[in-house]
């Protein structure tokens, strides 16, 4: 079965090589993104934007079309685990309070050095996305700690935070959205 991005390339009548040339992006970079070898979270925004422009798409549409592998059976990864919003909300709120108290750089260092023992898959994915967001914001390379997890996404969108994100039609943060975690504000701690 063809991926969505392959169908888009065919509709435009171009190959990955031609896309890379049009976007002025190295072929290996384009190939790795389009085949899922490299996560969009690991790519630079300029690269994603250039590829999207070459396909006459928005960057968000392009990222969605790259189709990261889904975490098919969430419970199989962690038997007994559920997507419990109340427990997750506490985890998320604690991270946001620590981020506000410590500042971006100090929090990022502590986040990447901390253990994931005892965390659910959802919590690990959220922690990874938050770390990736801060790395990109601070213009730092992404940590190798989550290389394997970066290739996955939740099978369905998981909405976090207050509903204002969707009432006001605010775009979710890219580093979260590519993993199907709909987060709009990591600085919302009171």
pLDDT (tens digit per residue) in 87-128: 777 788 889 989 998 999 999 999 999 888 888 888 999 999
pLDDT at 87: 72
DSSP reduced 3-state for 101: helix
pLDDT more than 70, % of the chain: 77
Tokens of 139: 């213009």
Helices (H), the chain: 4-12, 16-23, 27-34, 45-54, 59-65, 74-77, 85-102, 104-113, 121-137, 164-167, 174-177
Tokens of 127: 């922690």
Q: Indicate the DSSP class of residue 159.
A: E
Tokens of 179: 């993993």
Structural domains in the chain, CATH included, are 4-65 (1.10.260.40), 74-182 (no CATH)
pLDDT per residue as tens digits for the range 162-177: 544 454 566 789 999 8
46: pLDDT strictly greater than 80: no
Report how far Cα 92 is from the mean position of its chain's Cα atoms: 16
* Banded pLDDT at 25 (limits 50, 70, 90): confident
Count the Cβ atoms, other than its own, within 10 Å of residue 141.
8
> How far is Cα 65 from Cα 167, in angstroms, rounded to an integer?
25
pLDDT at 42: 62
Mean local confidence (pLDDT), 152-157: 85
Task: Note if the pTM is more than 0.95.
Answer: no
Average pLDDT over the chain, rounded to whole? 80
């Amino acid at each position: 079965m063809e991926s969505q991005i392959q169908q888009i390339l065919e509709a435009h009548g171009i190959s990955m090589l031609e896309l890379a040339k049009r976007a002025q992006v190295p072929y290996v970079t384009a190939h790795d993104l389009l085949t899922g070898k490299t996560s969009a979270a690991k790519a630079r925004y300029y690269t994603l934007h250039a590829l999207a422009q070459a396909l006459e798409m928005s960057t968000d549409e392009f990222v969605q079309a790259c189709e990261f592998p889904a975490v098919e059976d969430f419970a199989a990864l962690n038997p007994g685990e559920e997507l419990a919003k109340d427990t997750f909300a506490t985890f998320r709120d604690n991270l946001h309070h620590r981020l506000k108290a410590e500042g971006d750089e100090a929090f990022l260092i502590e986040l990447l050095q901390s253990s994931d023992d005892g965390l659910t898959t959802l919590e690990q994915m959220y922690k990874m996305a938050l770390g990736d967001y801060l790395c990109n914001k601070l213009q730092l390379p992404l940590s190798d700690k989550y290389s394997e997890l970066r290739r996955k996404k939740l099978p369905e969108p998981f909405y976090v935070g207050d509903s204002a994100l969707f009432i006001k039609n605010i775009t979710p943060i890219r580093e979260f959205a590519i993993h199907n975690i709909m987060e709009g504000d990591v600085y919302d701690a009171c």
